[in-house]
Amino acid sequence: MLITPDPDPAFCLVTFSWAEPAGPPVDDVLVRLIALTDHAQDDGRLEPFLLDRQPDGVWSGTLRLPADLRTSYQLCPVRHGSLREGPIDDERWSAVMTAGLADPANPAILPAGCTFGNQGPASVLELPAAPPQPGWRRRLGTPTGRVTRHALGSSSVHVYQAPGAEVDAPLVVLFDGVRWLSLDVTTMLDNFVADGLLEPVVVLLVDTIGGARRYHGLTRPWLFSPLVDDLIPFVEDGWKVTRDPARTVVAGQSLGGLLSTHLARTRPERFGAVLGQSCSFWWPGTEEVGELIGEAEIEAVETGPRTRFHLTAGLHERDLLTGNRRMRDALSAHDLTYREYQGGHDFACWRGDLADGLLTLLPK
C-alpha cells in the first residue's frame, strides 16, 4: 500500500497491490473499504474498487480518498466470474466478503471477529489527516489492570479493574466486551490511568446476554433487563464502585448504543452518562412486541431525564447517520458532545472515539 499526496490537500491517492499466489486463477480483486465499498455494492457500482492485473501478474489500483479517512479494509480475491459484468446479488456479495484477506503489505491490523461479513483479520488504513488515536500501544513499565471473567446465569462478562481503583471508583458498562478485549482496550485504559488522564476505573465488559444472539440480547428487554438487574449489585458488591450515576457510563456501538440510550433513559438513578458510537437509531424492530425501536427512543429522550451524552457517527453510514443527527437535535436540552468522523461502521474508528468519550464523560 502506498499513500501519496493529491493536488487537492483534502484528498490522498492510495495505491493497493496484491500478488496472486499459486492456485486457482483469480478473476478480480476487490478492495473492500468498510462502508465505502459496501455502499458501492448497494448502488451497483463496484468497479472503482476493483484492482487491475498488471503485466507482471500483480494486481494493483489507485483510489482517491478523503485525507482524514480512517477505515478497516480487506483485499477480496474473486473467482468464478468477474465483478465487472454488472451488479451482483446478496449471495454473491456474501461470498466476496467471506473471501476477504488482510493486506500483507500493511502491518496495521484489526483482529479477527471485528469485521462484518468476514471473521478474519482486516487491515487498517489511516490517512494523514485522520484524528489521532493515542494510548492504544502497550508501553513497557506501565502498570496493568486486572481482568477477570464471570458467568451470570447464561450471560458472561469480564471485569477490568484499573491499577489504583479503590472504593467509589467510576464505573463503565461496555457492551461487546469480547471484541473490545480482542482490540486490547485494557492497554488504552492502563495508559490513560498511568498518564493521569483518567481516574482509575472499573469497566464491566458485557460479552453475551442471556445466551442469545447479539441483536436479540441488545434489543429485547426480557433478555437484557434481568442481566442489568444482576450486574449492578454484582459489581457494586464485588468492586465497591461508585453508586453516583454521574460517574457511571454506559457505552455501546450500533445496537449497543441504542441499548445504552434506553438504559440511561429508563434507569437514570444508576446510569447518568451515555457513550454511544454509531448508534442504531434507525432500528425498526422486528415482529417481537416490546423490542427496542430507534424512533421510539428518539421521541422519548426529548422529555426524558437529563443525561450527559457523547455521540459519534460516521459520514459514510447513510441511514444510521440520519438517525444520529435526529437524535442530536432531540438532545438539545441535554449535555451533549456530538461529532461526525470520516469513516463508517467500524471498530477502526470506534477505538479512538471510545477513548475520547471516556475522557469527556469522566473528566479527572
Model pLDDT, residue 24: 87
Q: What is the pLDDT of residues 200-257, one digit of tens each?
A: 999 999 999 988 889 899 999 999 999 899 999 999 999 999 999 999 999 999 999 9
Query: 118 with 168, same domain?
Result: no
**94, 126, 158 - which closes a domain:** 126
One-letter amino acid identity for 293? Answer: I
C-alpha–C-alpha distance, residues 224 and 218, integer Å: 7
The structural domain count of the chain equals 2
| DSSP, res 220 | -
User: What per-residue confidence (pLDDT) applies to 133?
Assistant: 97
**What span, in angstroms and rounded, lies between the C-alpha atoms of 230 and 238?**
12
CA distances from 227 to 153, 157, 290 (A): 9, 10, 17
Yes or no: say if 212 and 220 are a contact pair by the CB < 8 Å rule: yes
Among 126, 161, 185, the domain-final residue is 126
Find how far residue 42's CA is from the centre of its chain. 21
The yes-or-no verdict on residue 287 having pLDDT over 90 is no
Residue 288 above 90 pLDDT?
no
Enumerate residues 6+ apart whose C-beta is below 8 A from 258.
218, 219, 252, 276, 279, 280, 281, 283, 292, 294, 297
pLDDT category at 293 given cuts 50, 70, 90 is: very high
Give the whole-number percent of the chain exceeding pLDDT 70.
100
Q: Is residue 198 part of a domain?
A: yes
Same domain, 182 and 321: yes
Instruction: Report the pLDDT value the prediction gives residue 23, as an integer from 0 to 100.
Output: 84
CA torsion sign for 106, 346, 110, 47 is negative
Q: Is 79 exposed, middle or buried (0-12, 13-18, 19+ CB in 10 A)?
A: middle
* Structure confidence at residue 182 as a pLDDT band (50, 70, 90): very high
Q: How confident is the model at residue 79 (pLDDT cuts 50, 70, 90)?
A: very high
Same domain assignment for residues 171 and 279? yes
Same domain, yes or no: 88 and 118: yes
* Same-domain check for residues 68 and 216: no
- Asked whether the beta carbons of 201 and 169 are under 8 A apart, the reply is yes
In a domain, 35, yes or no: yes
In a domain, 16, yes or no: yes
Query: Same domain, yes or no, for 117 and 159?
Result: no
Structure confidence at residue 261 (pLDDT): 97
Mean pLDDT lowest for which of 126-135, 213-222, 257-266? 213-222
Quick one: 220 and 160 in the same domain? yes
In a domain, 134, yes or no: no
> In three state form, how does the secondary structure of 136-204 look?
CCCCCCCCCCEEEEEEECCEEEEEEECCCCCCCCCEEEEECHHHHHHCCHHHHHHHHHHCCCCCCCEEE
CB atoms within 10 A of CB 98: 12
Same domain, 323 and 233: yes
Q: Are residues 205 and 331 in the same domain?
A: yes
Task: Establish if 178 belongs to a structural domain.
Answer: yes
What are the angstrom distances between the C-alpha of 150 and each of 141, 204, 226, 234, 297?
A: 28, 10, 16, 10, 31
pLDDT, tens digit, for every residue of 310-344?
999 999 999 999 999 999 999 999 999 999 999 99
Residue 136 lies in a domain: no
For residue 31, pLDDT beyond 90: yes
What digits encode the pLDDT tens for the residues 89-112? 999 999 999 999 999 999 999 999
pLDDT of residue 286 exceeding 90, the answer is no
pLDDT of residue 22: 83
Beta carbons within 8 Å of 233's beta carbon, 6+ residues apart = none
Report the pLDDT value the prediction gives residue 364, as an integer from 0 to 100: 82
Taking every pair of Cα atoms in the chain, the longest distance, rounded to a whole number of angstroms, is 67
Asked if the model's pLDDT at residue 294 lies above 90, the reply is yes
* Residues shown for the chain: 364
Q: Show which of 97, 126, 155 is a domain's final residue.
A: 126
Determine the structural domain holding residue 122 and report its residue range.
Answer: 2-126
Residue 322: partners with Cβ closer than 8 Å, 6 or more residues away:
282
Around Cβ 26, how many Cβ atoms within 10 Å? 18
Q: Are 150 and 108 contained in the same domain?
A: no
Co-location of 34 and 175 in the same domain: no
- HEC states along 234-292? HHHHHHCCCCCHHHEEEEEECHHHHHHHHHHHHCCCCCCEEEEECCCCCCCCCCCCCCC
**Domain shared by 232 and 114, yes or no:** no
CATH value at residue 274? 3.40.50.1820
Cell of 274: 451515555
Residue 334 lies in a domain: yes
Within a domain: 132? no
Q: What's the CATH code of the domain at 115? A: 2.60.40.10
Look at 21 and 111; give whichever has higher pLDDT: 111
